[in-house]
Each structure stands twice: as structure tokens, then as C-alpha cells.
A and B are shown apart, each in its own frame.
Chain A
Amino acid sequence: MISIQQLINVAPFPQETKDELLAKCDDMSDSKKIEVESLCWALISQWYQNELGARQEKAMLEMAEGGKISSKEDFAKMSDTLFAEIVGKFKVEESQEDLEEVRAKLANLN
């Protein structure tokens, strides 16, 4: 189970915002926690998409300009690598359940 603290740590907040949210999250109401979690997931997913899109576009530009040719595997690898990076940031135990949760949440936007 991904905790709200993990989500806050991974979401693309500035450090001071993370600190503030972490300091206050214990006192938050349940509904507020849900709001924060939803915001974190939305932001993480958006970050993931932006990053993946950027890496793909860069590869396409290189190809169009006669540079490195990227294969399907290369593109798939980009996605896998980025996913692994995200998972690494969560510092989860890499249990199947956690990985599935992250994948499912990212897939919501993917």
C-alpha cells in the first residue's frame, strides 16, 4: 500500500511544500487526505507523461535528422525505464501489490 507520505515525497512538489504537507498530513481529515492523494497521483502521472513524451520526442527528432534510429524495443524500454525510476522514487518494497498499484495509477493517465 502506497502511503500518503510516499506520494507526497514522489509528487513534483518543491521541497518546502513537501515538508509542509508532510508536517500537516497527520492532522488532516480523511477527506482532505483523499484530496491530497488524488492530487499527488494526478501530478505524478502528469510528470510521468511529460517525461515519457519528451524522451520519445527527442528520439524522433534524432531519427528525423538522420541520427540514431530507435527501435520499438527502444521506445518500450523508455517506458519501462521511466516506470522503474518512478518505482525507485517510491522506495517501495517492490511487492507485486505495490507495483501494480503504481502501474494502475499511472495507467489511468497513460
Chain B
Amino acid sequence: MATEGATAVDVATAAARAGEPRPNATPAGVVEPDGRVKPARRFFGAKDVSVAVEPDITTGVKRREVSRSGSTAEVGFSAVSRGAMADRIRERLGVSQELFKDKARLDVIDRILLKRGEEIASKIDASSELTRDELALAWTVIQDDLRQKASAAKMAVDEQPEKFQKLKDAPVIGGIFRRYASEATTRVTESDGPRLTTEAVKTHGITEWNQDAIAAELRQLNELRADIEGKLGFGTRSADRTLPNFDKQNGDLLHDSVVKSLSLILERKHLESSLAELRKINRVEAASIEQQAIQEGLMRFAQEQAKALLIAERPDVDIARIQNQLDKINKPADQEEVDKAHAEAHQAIQDKNDAQTRLDQLTNSKESVIDAVEDTEEAKQEAKDNYDNLKPILSAEIKSWEARLDALPEPTADEIADKDAMRAYNERDATRRKPIVAEIDKRHLEIRRLLLEQTKTDYAHTKAVRKKDALLSADDTLRGSLAYAKKELTEKEVDLKKKLKAEEKLKEPAGQKANKKRGLEIWKSVMERDSNGVLNYEKIISTGFAQGGDEARYTQDQFADTTATGGTFVGAELLRESIFGVIKDEWVSDPKNKALIRKMLSDEAIGRGIVRIFSIDTTNYGLANLLPQLANADQAQIGDLTRFLISEGLRSAEKGDPFLKVSERYAKPKARIEHEALGILEEEMGVVKLENMGTLVNPRVIWEGPVREAHGRIFGSLIPITHTELNFRVTEEFNRGLVIAGVQIEVNEEFLKYLPVNVSANMPEEIRRYFYDSAGAVRTELRQPSDRTLRSLNIPEWITISDPAMNGGTGQLEKFHAVTSADMLNALGAAYSSEIPRKLATQTANKVLDMPPAERKDAIKGLPEFNITFAEADTGNPINCSIRFDNNGIFWISDGGEEMQLEAYYTRREENYRGDRQTLESAEREALQQEMATIQEHIGMRILENQQYK
């Protein structure tokens, strides 16, 4: 039976010795039939150590202080306490001996124990008179044992729990203390921190541990340690000072902070060994480092807590705005107001249409003058070509006819002498000359006609150019007009939406209005004070922090509950209750209010909030999947979620909408507006595929490979194209609900190299603006690299070639992803890139065909035979050809007949086309050249494709 005043160890040990179960009913010790106790350390795998049973002596204690000289003095330890102490020392001695035998590294305590362990243990067993240094050794052994076992088991012991009673209601930190405020407990932690396992604990082994056994063991060690400390005259502390009064399992940041500090200090001090290793060398130094880590960790923790407090300040919401919205609802709309809104909406539609018409007209007029210039340019060129081509022919023919004139026979002498004969000669000569002269005149006339045609077309072209110049001479003015028209259209569209919304609002049914009003009132009350002057928002946040304690109103597990209830989930209902129920109970108890609050803070809004706060990469906002996340949430995260939902709800209420729709921009956490450097995106690179090369029908640059799913403000990817490098990037800007996506191309040498000579109809506006002059030709400054200084020309490094905008409604973000990843790049291909592959292909073919065969052979290894189809220039008939590239670097082509080299094939095609004629008409020559260009484009494309997929 335990005596009054005995410690828990005394009681437990005495009970064990008396054959009674120990307090706490733990397998800390087993009483043998002979009265000897097998202590709980068997759970650590250590050999059982028997402790001699002695009578329970707790009386006759003399209290006398130990002198500084270390002389023996009597202190108040019972025999059972001494027995337990001796037992621990012997146990540790046994471990030290085993370590010594195994030649393992020993720490200071091991060495002291090997030297004096048995002597001290015997002395403790035999006498209650202990010196302070002996007690200090016992304390160190016990403290060491406790710390190592607790740390290795990831468990911690708290004592004197009542010390937290007064702090448990403190905001922020109160929740942490509340966990320890009830009674002394051995808590299981799941720390990821370092295990400070020593050789001693390793020797004990941990495979047989179970939670109850280790809990009992730690509790007993802790009581024993506290007993010694009390006798020595100082207080107690937690079991493991590297795991002080905070633990990670419950979201404690301090533990992490301490562990982080510890590793930083070890690194700072260039200590490669762990703290456990350091203890073996210098325990005092190790303790000093631990202390430093704890205090530094506390400072970091303090910083984070302060930050959280400052962030947790109330949201920046103007309650007057919510009141204004309420006033608007309260004011009944009369018919006149409704009519006015309707008229305004109608006018807005008209204005928007007018703006659209103006924009279309401006765009069309610009395009028409550009087209006119192109058309007259073609006519002028054709006339010039005709003149240039035909004039030499006609002149030659004139000469020929003139030669024939010259070749007509002269009169003979007889004819000259004979008047009649001479008259007859003249008649004959005139008859012979007439058709020849007619032929000559005809050709002169044709030449004049051609010249006239050239003059006419030249004049028409000049006129068209002048007209275009007149329109574009102040290009900035036109651009300004266009920009103004676009801006005007956008403004009118926005205005129209507002007007329609206003009209809709006025026509809103009374029931809807009442709900909206009630919802706004509820949101407004969040920022109002209760009868005690406490801001409701503060109360809500404090309730959030209350979770986890014994008196917790809500727990993480409750919030994570996905049990279905009334079309929603228990956890979601509790989240809503934790916000609105704190203000007024009736708002969650009254079924009508409850239904309204479900709409104000819908399941989807909560789901999106969870996705944002917990950085979940998903587009599935189903709460059944998301609520379970809260089970493992820490307090800060729950607080963040609550604050996020409240502040978003309040902002929505400010705008007059009490039903929170968490914007899609929060769909993914990375969708926050942030700039990301291009350099880090290399892994996101895909490859470009040149599509439809075989048929040359709408050749396109398309994207293969990943496009970033998460979107920063600007991100980009390089699309490498074999032979060259054209860099594209996709940009996004989020502006509230509006997403503006753009595809940009880098202005580099390669880009300039492949710019078409003349502007084309599908060319993006920015390319036209920066690189083409008013006549539609590439700016002269850009034609020669030596003349080009992009910066001096104010040309940006990246220019936009496509910039669609889309409203951020439900599903728009996903739609946007799809657009950026495929459609937009296809659009890019259709608009601009069709120019690029054609140009690339022709130039590639030209370059390759200009090479000597031996060099060509090396340049394009492994090009397989391929077939092409093209329209024959003279007949328009489709021709199927096969093209083969042989091992000697020669291209061979066959259209079903004899296979021949490419050059020979071109020659034959020209001969066939010309037939018996001396020369081809200019249009015919152009058509034939186009036919050959088509063949070469095919060859170029095949070469590019072949290189690309290698």
C-alpha cells in the first residue's frame, strides 16, 4: 500500500510489489510470483532485469542539503524510488557494456557508467543518502533514456498540464495549449523531424514496441525524473526538449521551426554529424546547440504567428457599399424606371450595332484599298510583262517583214526602159508590198497597244496607290480610328451588358429580391458588432481557432464529414454554421435561412475555396472528394479557408450579389497572377509538327506535347522548327472575369528572314503594322540585316499574332486551356504559319538542290521515296509522281513513264508545254514555274519532315 506523499513511481512500484495491478493499467511492469518485478523495458527488447524486492520504506526520511563538497547527505527518496533509479542505471549499464563489447562508439555517460555504474547503482539501492552528483548522473541516465525513447518512438511527455489552463482561451496559440490543458498525457506524435536515436536505443531495439507499453514506460520515466528534479530544487520540463510543448501532428509549426533551426545551426557550425553524434563527443555543447535551435525556432514560429495575426485582420470591405445595395433593393422600382431601363437597354443595343458597323466599314475600306493596290499591281505587272515579252518578238517580226520588203525584186533595166512594163512592175510591187506593210503596221499597232495598256495599268496602279496612300498616309490616324472603333465597340458592349442587367434587376420577382436582401443583410452582419461590441468577424475567426481542443465546437473531422444531408454534406453545413451560426443561431437553425445560406455559400464555392487554399490540382469541385482534405488540415489552413470564403462573400455582397461565386481564376492555385520566367519552362517544351505537308493543303504548324496547364500572367514555350528557330509563346492575362489570351512570336533574325515580301490578307495586324510599309511591302530597313536595328525601329521583342478574349464564366477557364493547347495554335498555323512552312520548304529545297550531289547526300540522309500530286500547268490535269533520292545525292522523278533526274524532268515539261512554238507566253511561263515551285515545295516539306522526326 502506498504511503501518503509517495510519488506515482512509488505507488506504481509498491503496487507491483504487493501483487496489485499498477495504476494506469499499463504493462509497464509485471510482478513475478516470487515478488520480483519485470519492468516494462522488455518492450524495448532489452533483456529482463530483475529488481530485488525490498520492504516498502517511505518513512524516516531525513532532509538535509547536500554540501558543495559533495559529502553524503540524506535526501527524501523512498526505497522504491531508489530501487527504480538503480534499476535504470543498471539497465543503461548493461547497454553500455554491450556497446563496449561490440566496440561501438560510447558517449560520456556510457564511459562514466562503465567506470562507476555498478558502484553507484549499489549505493542508490543500499542507501537513501545520495550525493548531488550521483543524483545528477541518475537524472542524466533517466533523462537520456526518456528523451531517446520518446524521440525514437516519436512520442512526447507533458507534465504539469495545469500550467496551460489560463492560456487555453488565447486566440491563435490558445488552441495549441488547449490540447495539453486537461491532464498529464503521453501523446503520440507523427513528427517528420530527426529521430535522435542513439546506439543505446538501437541496442534496445524498437521492433517490439507498442503504443500502450511505450506510453507507460515514458510516463514512469517522467515521474522518476520529476521526482529527482524536485529533490534537487528545480522544476521540470517536457520530455524531449527538441519536441517541446508543441507537436506537429496537430499542425504545430514550432516543431518544424525548431528542427529547421537545428539543421541550420549544425550546418552553420560546419558540424556534419547529427546532434546525437555530437552528444557522444560533447554533451554540454550538444545541449547548447539544442537550446539555440529551440530559441531560434521559437523566434521563427513567433514571426509566423505574428504574420498570421496581421493577415487575419478583417477584410478590406466597405459595409456602406453593402448598405447601398440594400437601399437599392429596398427602393421599389416604378414603371417609369422600368421603362427607362428598357429604353436605355434598347439604345445600348443600337449603339453597339452602330459601333460594330463603323468598325466593319473602316476595316473593309482599309482592306479594299489594299486589295485594289494588289489587283492593279498585278495588272500593271502583266501589262509590263506583255510589253517586255512581246515587243522584242514583234520588233523582230517587223524586222523580218521589213527584210521581206527589202527582198522584193527591183525592176529590171528593160522594165525601167519600157513605160508599160514599168507600170506593170509597180502594180505588182504594190500588190506584193501591201500585205507585208500591213503585217508591219499591225505589229507596230500591237506594240503601241501594249505600250498603251502598260501606261493605262500603270496609271490605274498609281491611282490605287495614291488612294491607298491617301487613306494610309496618316497610317497612325487610320490605326487610331480603328483602335477607337474597337474601343468604342467594347465600351458599348460593356454598357449593353450593364443596361440589360439593370433591366433584368428591375424586373426581378419579389421572391428573388427578398432572398437577395436577406442574403446581403446576413453578409453585412459579418462586419457588424454584437451587443458586447465584439466584431462578428473576429468571433467567427476565433471559433475557427477553437477547433481541436476539448471544448472545440468544430473539429477537422467534422468539417471533413461527407455524410449526405439535405442535398449537401454534413461537413459543408458545419462550415457554413461555423461562419453564420456564430453570429446568430437562427440563421442556421431556421430552415428558410439555412436554405438561403446554402445558396450564399454554395457547395461549389466551398469546393473552389478548398481547391485554392489547399493547392489542389483539380477541376473537380465535388465536395465529396474535397471535404476529406480538411481532416488533415491544420488550424492555419482552416482559418485561411474561412477567411477566404468570408472575404470573397463580402466582396460579392459589395457588388450586390449575396450568392458567392468563387471566380474561376481560383480554379487552380497556380492561376494567381504571377510572372514566371521563361527560362524555367524548358521541360514544358513540346515539338512542332508540320502538318499536311504531303498534300500542301493548308499546311499548318501544330503543337504536339504538353502546354502548361497552370497559367501565370505570361508564360511561353519555344517551338523549335528544324532548320530555324521561330519562338512562340502563349500569354494570358486575367482581369477579373476576363481572360485575354494571346499567341506571340519572337522577333528574331529567323522571323525576319521568313517574312513574306508582301503583306498577305491573313497576316496578323501587328505583323503588318511593324514590318510592312503603307504599300504593303516589307519595310526597306528590314530587307538587309546591315540596315536593321530593331530597337531603333521601335519593334518589340515579342509581337502578338493572336489575341482572343473570353469572359470568365463557368467552364471558360477549361475552355481556355483547350484553346491554348490546340485550337489557338492551329489558328496560328492557319493565319500565319501557312506562310512559314511554304517559305521554309521552298528555301529548303532551293538550298538543297543548289548543293553538289555529294554534299546533298550528306545533308539529307535517309529521305524515303514519296509520292506527290500536282496540277499540270498546261492542261490542269492532276499528275501523280514518285520522287526518289538516291545514294549519290540525286533526285529522280517519275510520272509513270521514264524515271529521270529532276532537272531533266523540268526541261521535258517545258518542251512538252511549248510544243512547236518557239517560246511560251508569259502567263504560260509563270504557270509552268508555279508547277515546278510546287514540286520543289513538296521536296522541301519532305526534307523538313524527315529531319524533324529524326
Contacts of A34 in B (CB 8 A): 171
Interface segment, B65-73, B182-190, B580-588, B909-917?
B65-73
| A17 CA / B308 CA spacing, docked (Å) | 12
B309/A32 in contact, CB under 8 A: yes
CB distance from B468 to the nearest CB of A (A): 63
A81 contacts the other chain (CB 8 A): no
B136/A12 in contact, CB under 8 A: no
**A32-65 Cβ-contact flags toward B at 8 Å (1 or 0):** 1011101101110011011111101110111111
Interface segment, B234-242, B359-367, B454-462, B490-498?
B234-242
A29/B538 in contact, CB under 8 A: yes
B112 contacts the other chain (CB 8 A): yes
**A61-96 Cβ-contact flags toward B at 8 Å (1 or 0):** 111111001111101101100000000000000000
> Chain B residue with minimal CB distance to A35?
B171
B62 contacts the other chain (CB 8 A): no
A3 contacts the other chain (CB 8 A): no
If A39-B170, A64-B139, A109-B163 touch, does A52 touch B235 (CB 8 Å cutoff)?
yes
**B288-306 Cβ-contact flags toward A at 8 Å (1 or 0):** 1011001100111111011
CB distance from A67 to the nearest CB of B (A): 9
Contact pick for B241, options A24, A53, A75, A79, CB 8 Å: A53
A4 contacts the other chain (CB 8 A): no
> Chain B residue with minimal CB distance to A14?
B303
B232/A64 in contact, CB under 8 A: no
If A21-B306, A31-B538, A42-B177 touch, does A64 touch B170 (CB 8 Å cutoff)?
no
| A66 CA / B133 CA spacing, docked (Å) | 7
CB distance from A55 to the nearest CB of B (A): 9
B237/A53 in contact, CB under 8 A: yes
Contact pick for A39, options B108, B309, B535, CB 8 Å: B309
Q: Which chain B residues (370-421) contact chain A, with CB distance < 8 Å?
A: none
If A61-B287, A64-B133 touch, does A110 touch B235 (CB 8 Å cutoff)?
yes
Contacts of B166 in A (CB 8 A): 108
Contact pick for B310, options A20, A31, A60, CB 8 Å: A20
A71/B112 in contact, CB under 8 A: no
If A42-B167, A61-B284 touch, does A49 touch B237 (CB 8 Å cutoff)?
yes
A72/B65 in contact, CB under 8 A: yes
Contacts of A66 in B (CB 8 A): 112, 133
A102 contacts the other chain (CB 8 A): no
Contact pick for A71, options B66, B139, B177, B294, CB 8 Å: B66
> Chain A residue with minimal CB distance to B70?
A69
A50/B167 in contact, CB under 8 A: no
> Chain B residue with minimal CB distance to A45?
B167
Contacts of A78 in B (CB 8 A): 234
B291/A50 in contact, CB under 8 A: yes
A12/B68 in contact, CB under 8 A: no
Contact pick for A61, options B177, B244, B283, B305, CB 8 Å: B283
B65/A71 in contact, CB under 8 A: yes
| A41 CA / B164 CA spacing, docked (Å) | 12
CB distance from A34 to the nearest CB of B (A): 7
Interface residues of B, dominant DSSP: helix
| A12 CA / B300 CA spacing, docked (Å) | 9
> Chain A residue with minimal CB distance to B300?
A14
Contacts of A42 in B (CB 8 A): 167, 170, 173, 177
A35/B309 in contact, CB under 8 A: yes
CB distance from A50 to the nearest CB of B (A): 5
B314 contacts the other chain (CB 8 A): yes
Q: Which chain B residues (145-176) contact chain A, with CB distance < 8 Å?
A: 163-167, 170-174
B112/A54 in contact, CB under 8 A: no
Contacts of A63 in B (CB 8 A): 132-133, 136-137
| A62 CA / B287 CA spacing, docked (Å) | 11
B269 contacts the other chain (CB 8 A): no
Contact pick for B140, options A39, A54, A61, CB 8 Å: A61
Contact pick for B172, options A35, A64, A73, CB 8 Å: A35
Most chain B CB within a 10 A radius of its CB, from A46, A52, A60, A69: A60
If A31-B535, A109-B163 touch, does A13 touch B295 (CB 8 Å cutoff)?
no
**Inter-chain contact total with CB atoms closer than 8 Å:** 160
Contacts of B302 in A (CB 8 A): 11-14, 17, 39, 43
If A14-B299, A39-B170, A50-B244 touch, does A65 touch B68 (CB 8 Å cutoff)?
no
Most chain B CB within a 10 A radius of its CB, from A17, A53, A108: A53
Contact pick for A50, options B171, B295, B303, B314, CB 8 Å: B295
A64/B140 in contact, CB under 8 A: yes
A76/B233 in contact, CB under 8 A: yes
If A46-B245, A64-B136, A108-B167 touch, does A17 touch B298 (CB 8 Å cutoff)?
no
| A63 CA / B307 CA spacing, docked (Å) | 42
Most chain A CB within a 10 A radius of its CB, from B133, B165, B172, B307: B133
B109 contacts the other chain (CB 8 A): yes
**B73-85 Cβ-contact flags toward A at 8 Å (1 or 0):** 0000000000000
| A45 CA / B919 CA spacing, docked (Å) | 106
B534 contacts the other chain (CB 8 A): yes
Q: Which chain B residues (229-285) contact chain A, with CB distance < 8 Å?
A: 229, 232-235, 237, 241, 244-245, 283-284
A110/B173 in contact, CB under 8 A: no
B109/A64 in contact, CB under 8 A: yes
B237/A69 in contact, CB under 8 A: no
CB distance from B68 to the nearest CB of A (A): 6
B306/A20 in contact, CB under 8 A: yes
> Chain A residue with minimal CB distance to B171?
A35
B68/A71 in contact, CB under 8 A: yes
Contacts of A21 in B (CB 8 A): 306, 310
| A107 CA / B65 CA spacing, docked (Å) | 26
> Chain A residue with minimal CB distance to B173?
A42
| A71 CA / B241 CA spacing, docked (Å) | 23
CB distance from B110 to the nearest CB of A (A): 12
Contacts of B132 in A (CB 8 A): 63, 69-71
CB distance from A14 to the nearest CB of B (A): 5
CB distance from A37 to the nearest CB of B (A): 9
Q: Which chain B residues (198-215) contact chain A, with CB distance < 8 Å?
A: none
| A42 CA / B237 CA spacing, docked (Å) | 16
B550 contacts the other chain (CB 8 A): no
CB distance from A78 to the nearest CB of B (A): 7
Contacts of B314 in A (CB 8 A): 29
CB distance from B265 to the nearest CB of A (A): 14
> Chain B residue with minimal CB distance to A12?
B299
Q: Which residues of B contact A (CB under 8 A)?
A: 65-66, 68, 70, 108-109, 112, 132-133, 136-137, 139-140, 143, 163-167, 170-174, 177, 229, 232-235, 237, 241, 244-245, 283-284, 287-288, 290-291, 294-295, 298-303, 305-307, 309-310, 313-314, 534-535, 538
Q: 9 new A-B pairs (CB below 8 Å) besides A14-B299, A64-B133?
A: A17-B307, A20-B310, A36-B306, A50-B295, A69-B133, A72-B65, A76-B233, A79-B234, A110-B163
Q: Which residues of A contact B (CB under 8 A)?
A: 11-14, 17, 20-21, 24, 28-29, 31-32, 34-36, 38-39, 41-43, 46-47, 49-54, 56-58, 60-66, 69-73, 75-76, 78-79, 108-110
For this complex, 15 residue pairs linking A to B, each with C-beta atoms less than 8 Å apart, are A14-B299, A32-B538, A35-B172, A38-B172, A39-B302, A50-B241, A50-B294, A50-B298, A53-B237, A63-B137, A64-B133, A66-B112, A66-B133, A69-B68, A72-B233
